[in-house]
Chain A
């Protein structure tokens, strides 16, 4: 299957294929050297997903594929660096858990800062230095997971008892993170972090009551947010009624328009794209994404909405296979968490894997109208530098945990 994907790329551009394959080989060799006992499935899956993403990005916007290629090189470099430095014992990281927690908050705050912050599509998630821009939120996610794993490993017994004193630092960092996310309007991110938090808390304490309380809090919070922020209210309206029969007020143009021509434009066009794929899809490169005049029909198609491009071109068979690949990744990730010998490793692996699954669900579920749409990237596939780097770091984390677990089992 991997070879097959490579084939598709080669029809698009042989140089890309050769380059990508060399890069994969390098990543593979680094993995063999540094973490020889690690799970053998994860890196090929990540390679496959990245290749699918790169192919589709190339098909949609060749110039972006070149940039994405550079970002993949950067990501693999970070990946190699992480494996190399932490190959002996990654559990050192646990010592710096507070540093990670605070850095994560710092990273999340960065976009709000005047000089370097940048607003894209209504959300203030970007940081730029000159022409270089990235989303620090993606990195913050991994740091928060490390912080949570460290903190919960240390305090899991007392957390289960529910003494306020032990909850303090956890909640402080947590509430800060949520506030920042609200401020930056990163709803998808907020949902993701909250989900990861609850999942890890459950793994650590085995108390379903916490999860229930967390969900209750989330509901109350969500309703509260729904009431006070028009931005959120709009998202929900779009989700419930993307199509209107009569013209309604359109805040984008200030006039009366059908909602499908206004706020829910992107969602609706993306659904048309998915529906057009049917069972077998139109075939790679044969999909329709532009009007007769050559105008792009769906905005941000190669980042948040890459799934609807894939669904049209690969069809149900193709994207179902893609989602199965995600499921295999999740299965392997959870297996690593099960095999890990210590609490920190288990929590970290479970957190990283659940985060991976939940992020996929939030964006694809949003596109499919299962939940309200919130912008977030599809792991490994979407176009976006910070996303690729963060996902390769996530992969490195899982490989490190699995390497250690398997080595200990063998010895």
Chain B
């Protein structure tokens, strides 16, 4: 009988060993998959037991996100408070129980909950857990300047649009403001109230700066001029004859369709055409270069790829041609795209304010495009720096000489062209206006893309304002850009 008893004994031990294997599977192999499940309320609640890191603006003092401690049913939970309300919400997002997370609260959740893989943090979190202390996340310091951000929001009041300002040499995002937006403190309990808006357009939850798609209008001429100069096919002094229209496919494309420069200018050069935003000049450039070349330069600036930024991917969109709401990349652009209209920013072009700011920043940075960045540094709860911003080049879309020639042309725009309202006394400003027709009579999307000071650029900016009746880039967007740049340069 003893043999059988041993065998049954071994069988029993195998059964119990299988339990250890099973537990190991769920706790080490499958646990990440379980944690990601939507209905995992344990994970959801556990996240609220962590004291999330705080978020600060660039000055390191202005608190954008902090915690409120609450004791519910014997457990201590930490809920988010956003002291600045709607001011930074497009960037910071929210972290709530009922609606999960958006913005940096989502994409930097690992850092904010102390579960990032940095040795320092891993060690500290493990120690906290062992001691039974509350796990505390890492703090974020953003690159956004609170004063200029508040000013930009104020200037957008009553309008719909966005302001994005970058530091050209490093890619730091200095301002990212939109209107309408929402109060993140209301998301948890008063969602309907948070999403209500008095602005003339809807969608307050949309981050217009990175996910708003707008017709660029003449502001796209920076890209077309880049292609014209960089390929060597044109110089700033190339001469054109402007009869008030340009002939495409045997039909006239009239300047009169351009709300910024409906006149006829006669003999002009490229500098003048850019300064006064003459459509026929760019229409002819487009026809000469072909849509493929213009689109290639757009791609070099970052069109057709998600603008790189630390926010979640689904809160950013690509710039480029759109066909029925979907990004359209023509296989044979010479046959599929109207080169003349493309060249002055009509066709089916849709651009985000962030992308346009990157274009202006590239010209300012002598042709080198920097990766836009929102996070200045990540600090441990003890205040030690875990990571900090290291400026990174995205590429070199245009030659230095091209950038310098463009800078000159953009300066002409502000000195005596369509962008004179952007002049700042004592500071040389370069810019380009854009006024895109929306298809509704007299209603325009107005743009201004600029940088300053010209000799040593400290700020590049893009301002877009939606649905302006009889408004132009020069009259609506340029003054906003001017004031924000002034605040940033002060």
Q: Which residues of A pack against B, CB within 8 Å? A: 199, 202-204, 206, 243, 258, 260-261, 268-269, 271-280, 282-283, 285-286, 288-294, 297, 311-312, 315-316, 319-320, 323-324, 326-327, 330-331, 334, 337-338, 343, 346, 350, 353-354, 357-358, 360-361, 364-365, 368-370
B 9-22 to A, binary, CB cutoff 8 A, 1 in contact else 0: 10111011111101
Q: Which of A292, A311, A354 contacts B27 (CB 8 A)?
A: A311
Q: Which residues of B pack against A, CB within 8 Å? A: 1-9, 11-13, 15-20, 22-28, 30-31, 34-35, 37, 39-46, 48-49, 72-75, 77, 97, 126, 129-130, 132
Contact B77–A276 (Cβ < 8 Å): no
Contacts of B20 in A (CB 8 A): 320, 323-324
Contact B129–A272 (Cβ < 8 Å): no
* Nearest CB of B to A84, in Å: 28
* Nearest CB of B to A150, in Å: 15
Contact B129–A364 (Cβ < 8 Å): no
Contact A293–B6 (Cβ < 8 Å): no
Contacts of A354 in B (CB 8 A): 8, 11-12
Contact A361–B6 (Cβ < 8 Å): no
Contact B26–A358 (Cβ < 8 Å): no
Contacts of B25 in A (CB 8 A): 368
In the assembled complex, the Cα of A330 lies from the Cα of B27 at a distance in Å of: 25
Contact A361–B15 (Cβ < 8 Å): yes
Given that A203-B1, A279-B27, A323-B23 are contacting pairs, would A292 and B42 also be in contact in the complex, using a CB cutoff of 8 Å? Answer: no
Contacts of A277 in B (CB 8 A): 27
Q: Which of A261, A292, A316 contacts B48 (CB 8 A)?
A: A292
Q: Which of B9, B30, B41, B129 contacts A330 (CB 8 A)?
A: B9
Contact B9–A334 (Cβ < 8 Å): yes
In the assembled complex, the Cα of A350 lies from the Cα of B10 at a distance in Å of: 12
Given that A269-B41, A365-B18 are contacting pairs, would A206 and B8 also be in contact in the complex, using a CB cutoff of 8 Å? Answer: no
Q: Which of A274, A280, A350 contacts B5 (CB 8 A)?
A: A350
Contact A330–B72 (Cβ < 8 Å): no
Contacts of A199 in B (CB 8 A): 8, 11
Residue of B nearest to A337 (CB): B5
Contact B22–A283 (Cβ < 8 Å): no
Contact A357–B15 (Cβ < 8 Å): yes
Given that A272-B43, A276-B42, A350-B5 are contacting pairs, would A292 and B16 also be in contact in the complex, using a CB cutoff of 8 Å? Answer: no
Contacts of B6 in A (CB 8 A): 334, 338
Judged by DSSP, the binding face of B is helix
Contacts of A268 in B (CB 8 A): 39
In the assembled complex, the Cα of A5 lies from the Cα of B77 at a distance in Å of: 28
* Nearest CB of B to A298, in Å: 9
Contact B24–A316 (Cβ < 8 Å): yes
Residue of A nearest to B33 (CB): A275
In the assembled complex, the Cα of A229 lies from the Cα of B139 at a distance in Å of: 57
Contact A319–B23 (Cβ < 8 Å): yes
Contacts of A293 in B (CB 8 A): 72-73
* Nearest CB of A to B7, in Å: 8
In the assembled complex, the Cα of A190 lies from the Cα of B19 at a distance in Å of: 20
Contacts of A358 in B (CB 8 A): 12, 15
Given that A272-B40, A291-B45 are contacting pairs, would A361 and B1 also be in contact in the complex, using a CB cutoff of 8 Å? Answer: no
In the assembled complex, the Cα of A282 lies from the Cα of B45 at a distance in Å of: 13
Contact B3–A269 (Cβ < 8 Å): no
Contact B17–A327 (Cβ < 8 Å): yes
Contact A365–B19 (Cβ < 8 Å): yes
Q: Which of A319, A337, A361 contacts B18 (CB 8 A)?
A: A361
In the assembled complex, the Cα of A327 lies from the Cα of B19 at a distance in Å of: 11
Given that A283-B132, A337-B5, A353-B9 are contacting pairs, would A327 and B16 also be in contact in the complex, using a CB cutoff of 8 Å? Answer: yes
Max count, chain B CB within 10 A of own CB: residue among A268, A285, A311, A370: A370
Max count, chain A CB within 10 A of own CB: residue among B18, B26, B39, B130: B26
Contacts of B4 in A (CB 8 A): 202-203, 206
Contacts of B44 in A (CB 8 A): 292
Q: Which of B11, B45, B97, B129 contacts A283 (CB 8 A)?
A: B129
Contact B35–A276 (Cβ < 8 Å): yes
* Nearest CB of B to A341, in Å: 11
6 extra A-B contacts, CB within 8 A, seeds A273-B42, A292-B97, A316-B27: A203-B8, A204-B1, A286-B129, A311-B27, A323-B19, A324-B20
In the assembled complex, the Cα of A319 lies from the Cα of B39 at a distance in Å of: 25
In the assembled complex, the Cα of A49 lies from the Cα of B42 at a distance in Å of: 26
Q: Which of A206, A280, A337 contacts B130 (CB 8 A)?
A: A280
Contacts of B42 in A (CB 8 A): 269, 272-273, 276, 288-289, 297, 312
Given that A206-B1, A276-B46, A338-B6 are contacting pairs, would A290 and B75 also be in contact in the complex, using a CB cutoff of 8 Å? Answer: yes
Q: List 10 A-B contacts (CB under 8 A).
A: A199-B8, A202-B8, A274-B27, A280-B126, A286-B129, A288-B75, A294-B73, A320-B20, A330-B16, A368-B23
* Nearest CB of A to B188, in Å: 10
* Nearest CB of A to B4, in Å: 4
Residue of A nearest to B3 (CB): A206
Residue of A nearest to B126 (CB): A280
Residue of A nearest to B9 (CB): A334
Max count, chain A CB within 10 A of own CB: residue among B5, B34, B49, B130: B5
In the assembled complex, the Cα of A276 lies from the Cα of B45 at a distance in Å of: 11
Max count, chain B CB within 10 A of own CB: residue among A260, A294, A316, A353: A316
Contact B9–A316 (Cβ < 8 Å): no
Contact B34–A272 (Cβ < 8 Å): yes
Contacts of B12 in A (CB 8 A): 330, 334, 353-354, 357-358
Contacts of A338 in B (CB 8 A): 2, 5-6, 9
Contact B19–A346 (Cβ < 8 Å): no
Lowest 4 A-B CB distances belong to which pairs? A294-B73, A334-B9, A357-B12, A368-B22
Contact A286–B132 (Cβ < 8 Å): yes
Contact A275–B26 (Cβ < 8 Å): yes
Q: Which of B11, B15, B31, B45 contacts A292 (CB 8 A)?
A: B45
In the assembled complex, the Cα of A290 lies from the Cα of B44 at a distance in Å of: 11
Contact B5–A272 (Cβ < 8 Å): no
Contacts of A331 in B (CB 8 A): 9, 13
Residue of A nearest to B19 (CB): A364
Residue of B nearest to A351 (CB): B8
* Nearest CB of A to B309, in Å: 31
* Nearest CB of A to B38, in Å: 9
Contacts of A292 in B (CB 8 A): 44-45, 48, 72, 77, 97
Given that A273-B42, A291-B41, A292-B97 are contacting pairs, would A361 and B16 also be in contact in the complex, using a CB cutoff of 8 Å? Answer: yes
* Nearest CB of B to A338, in Å: 5
* Nearest CB of A to B140, in Å: 24
Contacts of B3 in A (CB 8 A): 206
* Nearest CB of A to B43, in Å: 6
Contact A278–B13 (Cβ < 8 Å): no
Contact B23–A290 (Cβ < 8 Å): no
In the assembled complex, the Cα of A324 lies from the Cα of B126 at a distance in Å of: 25
Q: Which of B16, B35, B37 contacts A326 (CB 8 A)?
A: B16
Contacts of A283 in B (CB 8 A): 129-130, 132
Max count, chain A CB within 10 A of own CB: residue among B23, B37, B46, B130: B23
Max count, chain A CB within 10 A of own CB: residue among B15, B22, B72: B15
